[in-house]
Structure formats: structure tokens, C-alpha cells
Amino acid sequence: MDVLSDILAVMRTGQPRSAQVTWHAPWAQRFAPVPGAVGFHVILRGPCWLIGPDTDPMPLAPGDVVFRPHGQGHTLADSPSTQPTTPACRPDEPDLLPRYAVDTVGVPSGVGGPAAVVLCGAYELDPALIHPLLHDLPELVHIPAHLGRHPQLRAAVDLLTAELAHPGLGTDALIPVLLDTLLLYILRGWFDRQPALRATGWAVALNDPAIAAALQAMHHHPARPWTVAALAAEARLSRAPFARRFTTLLGQPPLTYLTWWRMTTAARLLRQTDAPLSAIAGEVGYASEFAFANAFKRRYGAAPGRYRRQVERTALTGHRL
């Protein structure tokens, strides 16, 4: 698994949700702020406006993609002057899909004014496992429609749209896969534009062959007894230049990130498997369960066994940790 895919697999919790919605003017839909959730909108037919709390209204055209990686609240509307009059939709609620279609001003379907058709999607992420890559993203990622640009993203949109409009055998399995695909293409589309614009950050690091090789090694083999010199060899750099470049681009030394990644991987294994603690300790590079437990408690404030029990209780009650 490559680094970006690995990061998304670790952060995500629960099932992603999506809906294709038609609104007839006048309409306005509020989306409540939800820390730990990310959402996106693909404008299939429009136009419409994106209205954020701290920015000027942004006009959106068919083919535009907007991604909100930090769960910030916002509104979609046919006009900046149209105001919502109903409670805001929360992407982390189980009834997300019906509420996308009903919490609006105007007519969500049927006869009305000029129509806008929007493909909406939402992911719930585990706040404890949020990767620094996501923190590196702006409040709004806007990928405007350009003829011939991002053909894979457009193909993913078409497939997801068709599956939502005409569900059939296997739809329940296809939708999460297509949402994963769409999210990856959104991030790829943003990252591909960044190296020429920025000097540091994850966008630059993932496109830097040396640093990307070291990250790949850590992600593929977290249990290895990595040293800075060993990671520098993966990057084909000498020790000091490698450590300097890694720290400059990502804001932390290589072994600090390695420890963070090991603990994040351990938390995922505790959540998703019933593997014994000794096996998880070995999988993330700790020779003893005691050393692993101490490192894990420093990161999460709870020993691994207690953390796992908290996760199980959370799953039963439906509340977050």
C-alpha cells in the first residue's frame, strides 16, 4: 500500500456516506461544523454558491469539486442572498442521506425554479488518528472544472453518480469503494498542483523521491529497528542531509514521525482486530509488551488494553471516544 492510501485507511472510521441531490431555486442547505469529519461536493448541474463563515461567497459551476478536510461548517445555495431556515445537516449523523434531501429552503425535488444537482459525500475520521497530512490541507480544496483536466477524477464522479442513480446488485459494496476512489483523486488533484507553489509540507514530501522512499519504508515495515542512517540509506542520501530535508519538509525529525506512525498503526489494530497485545507490540517494532504499553500510554493517555475496552464501549453506545 502506498503512503497516501495507507494514511486514509488508518484515519477512516465507519462507512462513508453519499447522496445525489436535486434542489430547485430558491434553495439553501447548511452543513454543520463537525470536527473529525470531512466532506466534499461535486457540482453536476448548477450553478450554485459555496458560503463559508469567514470567506466571501464562491460561485461554483458544473464539474467543480470542493473538499472540506477539517469539518468546517458551510452552506450551499442558489444565491448568496438565500438563507436556510431549517437545522443544519451534520455529516456524522446516521440519517445523513435523508437529511441531505430535506433540510433545505425551497423544493429539494420535483417542480420548482432552476435546478442544481450536487453529489455530496462525507467521511467520519477518528480524531485520535488524524494524520498530519490532513492538517496540512487548507480549509477549502477547490478543484475547478477544466476540459481534459483530471480525467480519472471525472470518471470516478461518473461511476459514483451512475451507481447512486441506478443501484443494483453489489451497490452496497461499490459505493464505499467509489467514495474512496473519489477522495483519493481529489487529494491527488490537489497535491499535483502544490510542489511548484510551496516549499514545504506533505504535498512536497510525497513528490520528493528521497523523502517519499523513506516514508514508504516506514509505512511498509514499521517493525524494523529503523535508525536515521537506515532511513537515509532508503532515501539514498547521507545521514545529515536526509534528516535536515525530512525535518524541513515535514516539521518533525524522521524518528519522531516513525514513533507517531507506529502508535497510530497500533491504535488501528486495537480498534479493528482482536490480536493479542504482544502481537501488536511486535508488529509496530517493540520487543516487549511493557515497552509498547508505556509508549502507547504516552501517546493516547491510556494503556492498550484499556484503550481497546473504551473502543468496544464506544462501538456499543454509538458515541465517540
Using one digit for the tens of pLDDT, what is the confidence trace for 129-139? 788 888 888 88
Summarize the confidence of residues 172-198 as an average pLDDT. Answer: 80
Q: What is the mean pLDDT of the chain?
A: 84
Q: What is residue 175's predicted lDDT score, i.e. its pLDDT?
A: 87
Burial class, 208, CB count within 10 angstroms (exposed 0-12 / middle 13-18 / buried 19+):
middle
% residues pLDDT > 70 (the chain)? 85
Return residue ranges of the chain for CATH 2.60.120.280: 3-192
pLDDT at 188 > cutoff 60 = yes
Burial class, 27, CB count within 10 angstroms (exposed 0-12 / middle 13-18 / buried 19+):
buried
pLDDT at 251 > cutoff 80 = yes
pLDDT at 319 > cutoff 60 = no
% residues pLDDT > 90 (the chain)? 40
pLDDT at 199 > cutoff 80 = no
**136-150, 198-212, 276-290 — most confident range:** 276-290
Give the residue with greater pLDDT, 243 vs 268.
Answer: 243
Binned at pLDDT 50, 70 and 90, residue 209 comes out as very high
Give the residue with greater pLDDT, 223 vs 317.
Answer: 223
Q: What is residue 94's predicted lDDT score, i.e. its pLDDT?
A: 41
Q: What is residue 200's predicted lDDT score, i.e. its pLDDT?
A: 80
Distance CA 77, CA 30 (A): 9
Using one digit for the tens of pLDDT, what is the confidence trace for 10-55? 777 666 788 888 888 889 998 888 777 788 999 999 889 999 887 8
Q: What is residue 228's predicted lDDT score, i.e. its pLDDT?
A: 98
Return residue ranges of the chain for CATH 1.10.10.60: 208-317
Whole-model pTM: value is 0.78
Using one digit for the tens of pLDDT, what is the confidence trace for 65-90? 999 888 888 999 999 999 886 666 65
Using one digit for the tens of pLDDT, what is the confidence trace for 3-15? 888 887 777 766 6
pLDDT at 91 > cutoff 60 = no
Query: Which CATH number fits the domain 3-192, given the four candidates 3.30.9.10, 2.102.10.10, 2.60.120.280, 2.30.30.30?
Result: 2.60.120.280
Binned at pLDDT 50, 70 and 90, residue 221 comes out as very high
Q: What is residue 105's predicted lDDT score, i.e. its pLDDT?
A: 43
Q: Considering only 127-131, 275-279, 297-301, which range has the smallest mean pLDDT?
A: 127-131
Q: Which residue matches cell numbers 452552506?
A: 75
pLDDT at 321 > cutoff 90 = no
Give the residue with greater pLDDT, 263 vs 188.
Answer: 263
CATH topology of domain 208-317: Arc Repressor Mutant, subunit A (1.10.10)
Distance CA 263, CA 92 (A): 25
Q: Contact at 8 Å (CB) between 300 and 266?
A: no
Can you read off the three cell numbers belonging to residue 259?
514513533
Distance CA 41, CA 268 (A): 28
